[in-house]
Amino acid sequence: MKWLKRLLVQIVLIAIFLLTFAPASSVLAEETSKKVEIDLTNQRLYAFEGGQKIYDFVISSGKPWWPTPVGTFKPWIKLLSSRMQGGSVEYGTYYDLPNVPFVIYFGNEEVPNTRGYGLHGTYWHNNFGYPMSHGCVNLRTEDMQKLYFWMDLTTPIRIFGQTPVV
């Protein structure tokens, strides 16, 4: 009887090892993969998991003279809130926004992280569906909260299309 218990323990340990360390099949990896796509032309953000659309949110991207960059990006940090400052006092474009909620900054080789582009919640306007920002992607705070907790730092962000003329 002891040999049966030892055998069962060994089987359980092997199963735990395989579930923990064995590489997932490419089919399984494909089914559970996450990605975010941002359509500047239609001012929409789509979130997919395993090829299925999970979220479809209206956004406000950068204005034509402060465009949101296009390409494929990687998130590099998530912050529950962040102070954002920029623009120019001289040209009347300066902003200082404390406690911007649910921020996910992103970058790539062409657009370094230091440029400060991000996805974030927005409390200072409600004009979603139209370009409003200095390049970031503004979302309703309740939408960004969902996206913030769904995304991780390996979720690719693809931004495409053209910013509408305002």
Domain that holds residue 99: 44-160
| 98 found inside a domain | yes
Asked if residue 13 has pLDDT above 60, the reply is: no
> Which among 118, 141, 115 has a CA at the least distance from the CA of 128?
141
| 152 found inside a domain | yes
> What is residue 166's predicted lDDT score, i.e. its pLDDT?
75
Average pLDDT, the chain: 87
| 74 found inside a domain | yes
| 16 found inside a domain | no
The CATH number that applies at residue 62 is 2.40.440.10
Question: Global pTM?
Answer: 0.80
Q: What is the domain count for the chain? A: 1
| 76 found inside a domain | yes
